[in-house]
Amino acid sequence: MHFLFILLVLGGVLASLDDQTVSRVDTNKYSIAVEKKFLLYDVNFGEGFNLRRDVYMRVANTVRLLRESGENWILVLPPWGRLHHWMRMEVALSWRLFFDVESLNRFIPVIEFEDFLDETENHPIDQVIYLQHYEEGWGTEYVRKFEERKCLAPADSHYKKVDGEKWRGWFYSYEDVRASNFKCVSIQGDSATLRDLLKHSNYSSMTSIMIDRAETILHEHFGDADYWKARRSMRYSKQLVEAADAFRDKYLDSDDENDKTELVSDWRKERARRSALGGPYLGIHWRRRDFLYARQEQLPSIKGTALILEKLCEQLKLNRIYLATDAPEEEVEELKSYLKEGLKVYRFTDTQKFNDGQIAIIDQYLCAHARHFIGSHESTFTFRIQEDREILGFPVSSTFNRLCPDKNPDCEPPSKWKIAYFRSFELVIFIFVYKGVLKMTCVRKLVNLNIYDGPNIYNFGSVLG
């Protein structure tokens, strides 16, 4: 009883902290400058849709840090397009086609690129900062640092000075966009390092800065509460959710109420849980095509994949499989030919109504709502599904699974990056009852919050999921 009482008290205190974001600034806590500053960014052409989603979280947390320091930064969302794995080379696609922009704004202020152009009347961007690694490498240790340096290839081919003064670049395919200044900066660091760069005196007076090659920076604290706040804010667009839910209902006998996968409308009100059941089907992400060249030894054959699916369906008593894959149609048909009679494979393939990126999200959404999921080793597509399932509150055992190669059927499972809801504290005060006496103690630099009840120790992080 004592433990339950303490859990409720601390849980209530910590839950209130989770609601704090800088999308709308508490003026009692922060002194925000009136002047708006816009941060734009882009990513190397070769990076795919799901890695770019990860880069968004890194840059979003840079904006969070800037706003917490009292500066009124707004993140400009880079239009989607010309992505390596998309079959249709569309350009200038807005974020609202894929994500709920209102939900993104609950973490930090964001606007679409078109809205940025309207607000600034298409004035040149003040500064482009092209991030690059240090030419000499890391050296003997990894140190967070940055400095302006000469441009390394291919930076000098991506931006050219025109008309003697303005800089022309790709700028998401918008041919009339220009920049007033261009610099190359060698950098080693993370979201906080980028914050320090933007607060440097060279750039502090500028109101619009574009960071190119933003994938160069890392997460400040991968997998911490702020990482997950950014990730939880990335709700999918209403149109895509409705399409996926209609498919679940029609083909997979699945809905949120029966599957215990309902989410509150505002992600800031989410609380930790492990109660999701999922629809009565198996979800699989089966990565093929170019992935085979780099990781063929880590993936099963087509027949080996079928054997894995049959075994899982038998264990879980399921007869439906939702397949998310980039495999050619002939490989999909071969996979289906190896499956036992009675196992049905479903795919979402409405390419007339939805573009490649939208179908990818619908695939991920449907895999995320499955009773059990199995993915492809080291695939960012699989990573995003695992994150979605963590947010939905599935048991860890039903999420972090991989397709093992034929020669190693008991291969090492994937890393389990479990969701975090609360920031760690420099100083935590515990009040507990020991042998009938009320006691208080302090713990510094706590990573996993523990509850103490007499001689017993309870891991609060584990209780919360």
Centre a 10 Å sphere on the Cβ of residue 195 and count the other Cβ atoms it contains.
23
Strand partners, 275: none
Q: Is the dihedral of CA 354, 359, 365, 371 positive or negative?
A: positive
End-to-end CA distance of the chain: 21
Question: Tokens standing for 275?
Answer: 């109660």
Among all residues, which ones are annotated catalytic?
Answer: 47
**CA-CA distance, 447 to 428, in Å (whole number)?**
11
Burial degree of 36 (CB within 10 A; 0-12, 13-18, 19+): middle
**CA-CA distance, 99 to 80, in Å (whole number)?**
12
**CA-CA distance, 166 to 394, in Å (whole number)?**
52
Strand partners, 185: 131, 148
- The DSSP annotation for 143-181 comes to --EEEE-PPPTTHHHH-EEETTTEEE--GGG-TT--BS-
The DSSP call for residue 402 is B
Would you state the torsion angle of the CA atoms of residues 356, 357, 358, 363, taken in this order, to the nearest 10 degrees?
A: 90
**CA-CA distance, 212 to 143, in Å (whole number)?**
21
Q: Is there a contact between 212 and 131 (Cβ–Cβ < 8 Å)?
A: yes
